[in-house]
Amino acid sequence: MNALTVRRFCVLLALLIVAYTSISLARAPRVDSFLIGDCPYYTAAGESLLRDGDWDLRNQLPGDITDHHGFFALSADGRIVPKHSVLLPLLSLPFYAVMGTWGLLFFNVMQMFGLVYGIMLLAGGGPGARFLALLAYLSSPLLAYTFNYSPDVLGTVLFVWSYVFALRQRFVLCGLCAGLAVWAKIYFALILLPVALIVVPRGWRPTLRCGIAAFVAVAPMLVIQAHLFGSPFVTGYDRDARLTEAGYIVTEHYSRFHVPLLTGFGNLLFDGRIGMLRTAPLWWLWPFGVYITSRDRKGANVATAPLRSRLVVMSLVLSLVINILFFARYDEWDASVFGNRFLFPAMAVGFALQGPLWQRALDRMARVESA
């Protein structure tokens, strides 16, 4: 595995992604079979922008509007508009304009490549991290979500690269990725808080640059929300609309957190359909990676250099814990198909934390072979 250079890793990862996508397409009844769950509503937002030049989704939603309850919002002036973040449709719009539905799948394939590559870098970037990233991709729900149009993948890509750029002291890029992650999924505002443990100790100037960049990245979201809902701080989730005999009623999404905490942990980790134990068994090795880092910080291999710092490890673990704590109480925790998409940030961090574990295993194998 030491011969698995970065270039070979990229080629192999690309081949795996293309192979899985091709097999999925061959088995799918239609080209657009990957547009499931929320995906058609992100697609509708992009189509409305491309065809009509507006945010009004009514002529993009087929059939009776009651068939779409829970998937659209009501604007301040009574129009049917996107409930979900519009970042994914905006970023993928050029691909959709040129390639149609194929463009959405192509965009998802690209962002999956960026996610797995980012996990590899966050895990240390060495031979062990490359092997780990490939194995993590093949043994987790990330594989199935390759054939999708996923805002959860987008948010997790931006989340992972926020950490990668923070570790590389590219604080403007860190801030931009963090701001875009919040735009992709608003709850990343919580999950990314521990990045401050890496940025703030570098001084007020890097912290200010990071903060300004984050604001610049999230500012378009605030402008769009002000335009649609009358306030920059009101999201589509605050204007979740239902049509009744008396007209539209508007509800908010943020009070749907009633699951008891311990029950929620059991759901997220051990559910027989989408629990982490069943869908991502490799993820459970992350505490061993943390243990090895804490025991052998001075003798850390250069391949795991990003994980030498205790603050870095603490920051990653905190993000992982916040992600699980947040969704443990979520009423709709099981609104996923192939695995729990809400835990993709925790999944990515859990894999990255294993970098020292896999590097040590490869080093020992190499010593045995040379003996």
Q: Which amino acid does the sequence have at 145?
A: Y
Dihedral sign for Cα atoms in the order 136, 140, 141, 143: positive
- Which amino acid is residue 256, in one-letter code? R
> With helix as H, strand as E and coil as C, how does 101-155 read?
HHHHHHHHHHHHHHHHHHHHHHCCCCHHHHHHHHHHHHCCHHHHCCCCCCHHHHH
Angle at alpha carbon of residue 368, lines to 363 and 371, rounded to 5°: 125
Helices (H) and strands (E) in the chain, counts: 17, 4
Find out whether 178 and 156 touch, Cβ atoms under 8 Å: no
Query: In whole angstroms, what is the distance from residue 170 CA to residue 178 CA?
Result: 12
371 residues of the chain, pLDDT tens digit each: 567 899 999 999 999 999 999 999 999 999 999 999 999 999 999 999 999 999 999 999 988 888 898 899 999 999 999 999 999 999 999 999 999 999 999 999 999 999 999 999 999 999 999 999 999 999 999 999 999 999 999 999 999 999 999 999 999 999 999 999 999 999 999 999 999 999 999 999 999 999 999 999 999 999 999 999 999 999 999 999 888 877 788 888 888 999 999 999 999 999 999 999 999 999 999 999 999 888 765 544 544 555 557 889 999 999 999 999 999 999 999 999 889 999 999 999 999 999 999 999 888 887 776 66
Under 8 Å CB-to-CB from 348, ≥6 apart: which residues?
115, 118, 119, 122, 156, 159, 160
Return d(Cα 349, Cα 346) in angstroms, integer: 5
